[in-house]
Structure 1
Amino acid sequence: MNAHEVPQPSPSRMTPFAGHPIVVAIVPGQPELVALTAISWSQAAGNPPLYFAYVDTTRFVLEEFPDGTVRHGEVDPDTVDDRWEDRRIQIVETLTRVMEGTGVPWEFRYLAGRPDRSLTHLARAVDAAAIVVGTRAPGRGARVREFLEGSVAVQLSHHQHRPVLVVPLGVVDWKTPLWR
């Protein structure tokens, strides 16, 4: 392999589920189904830890640390927006409630920047076996955003070697026209 070739997925690069954590991408207000699916997978694999991660696209990464955490800052340095801290607290409170009594160890990471890059960095840092993401909420706005921004699940599946489990959060009837 030359210096410009990207390592490709192969059996030699697989990370076994048993004993390896799972990275779980979450969004505030998202249905608990994503977390519950990750909990179920963890329990089936012997309770490896879950690393829940929210990626704030309104902030950027200043520094990445070996444990998957980041130091982040505001995109516009002339503004002071501390709402991210309130969002972090809300997410941790929700996760604490959802994880209670599951027996699955977990941690939370507040990340910044592009979701696919941030989640890949975290997965590498913790040697995750897989990444769990939810689909976007149904509706025209979600379809337009996905068209413009792309699907995080698709971006992940093209830019790193770990399996990506996509949890459906809304099903579209095949008989219903996509654009109404």
Structure 2
Amino acid sequence: MALPGGMISLRQAIYGVGSAFLRPTPCSCHQPWMVLSDSEMDERQPPARKLRRKRLRTDYCYPMYGAQFDDPAPSEMSQPPKRRNLDVVLETANQEIHNIFKAEHAQREALEKEVQRLRAEMTRKDERVDKLETKVRELKDQCRCQICFTIPSGWRTLLCGHRYCPKCVPPIGGTCSPCRQVITGVIKSY
């Protein structure tokens, strides 16, 4: 059964009814294949290409490792040579990776110990700094006048042992504020 436009059905082309050939269309956006009859095949066809000789495949095994595997172990004799070489190379690579991980783990542990040591040292130094700051506060309190709380350049010390700045020292014959003793004398100190 011929289709309009001189085309034949796909069934005729496949089973050889009539003489028709399948050919891809120049524009693949409409129909992927077009069936041509003998009348359309009269066009001049380019000559067929000459067949080329096939190339031999290159052997991509590991020639540099070949010398290492001349005497394989008896357990490896059942495996093909390339497989044995690949297994040994993989085992060597895995061992190297394992060694690298071991070294990094040891280095990490050493760094963690160093961090712990430094933290303990920092804690000890912080405690010492706190003690020193407390002592400095106590010394500042001792250097201040008990009445006006200033730190004077010169002191007046009473015979009872209490100190005052020159402005706040009580007069002789008066009483010392903290201990209520009668003031009999004053000692100047700088």
TM-score by length of 1: 0.15
More strand by share: 1
More helix by share: 2
Structure showing greater Rg: 2
